[in-house]
Amino acid sequence: MLDMDNTAGKVAVVTGGASGIGKAAARLLIGRGMQVVIADIEEQALERTAAEIGATGIVTDVSSEHSVQALADEVQRRFGRADLYFSNAGVASTARIEDMTVSDWQWIFGVNVFGVIHGIRSFLPLLRASEGGGHFAVTASIAGHHVTPMLGGYTVSKFAVMALAETLAAELAEAGDEIGLTILCPGPVSTRLGASQRNRPDVLAAGGMVDSNLEATEEGAKLRWIDPESVAGILLRAIARGDLYAFTHPEMAPLVLERNRQVEAALHAPIE
């Protein structure tokens, strides 16, 4: 397991690291003495952030297996190791399920789900070789635990990430691997997630999803929006404790618990 009290000289890789939660996490990790690689699809933003916080920036499209493997190869070439991999890159737009096109599903799953899959395949060997143990962290969402109309595509992808990460954690434990795993499940965070279409590839442009600034809506105004720095702090404390889950909004627990209550009631309902 990664010892967060002894991180000087160790190497962390953060996807979606040019802004938001990824940037905030990278800054905190650098403050702990780690060498940090930030990966992002936005080249100019990546260069600015890398220069600002003192990270190494590598342009990466997490939806591409080849691109993520190239990232792993470059990290190995430059640093010879990776001790922490934070699979954080994600996209979100809004649409009713019935209005979503195949291109919408391919886009959101390509980044949110296959981005994690590619990270697992490319970086687990490096984490496994980490002296003292490595750590895999992944950004899911509170949306991976309850559904919200108009956010179906995002929610489905985050439910998938939850299942993927929980299964991986169980398999790593069963195999006796010295790799920890933490699933970050943020509630509302003030980031550019609501402007995700800016990075949507032209080949997947035909869709029904649209960007929405949820923070500016009437419903969004009722929520407690927190800054990325607070989320990054919660994540790092969870990693240090070896926690599987890291939640940011305890006040949203009733949403999750009500869904669980309905499932429990159905499980105990008569079947004849």
CB-based contact 118:106 (threshold 8 Å): no
Annotated active-site residue 154? The verdict is yes
Edge-to-edge strand ranges of the sheet holding 245-247: 56-59, 35-40, 11-15, 84-87, 134-139, 179-185, 245-247
CB-based contact 13:71 (threshold 8 Å): yes
CB-based contact 119:65 (threshold 8 Å): no
Q: Which listed residue (85, 154, 159, 247) is catalytic? A: 154
Sign of the CA dihedral with 44 first, then 46, 52, and 57 last:
negative
Q: How far apart are CA 5 and CA 17, in angstroms?
A: 22
Catalytic residues: 154
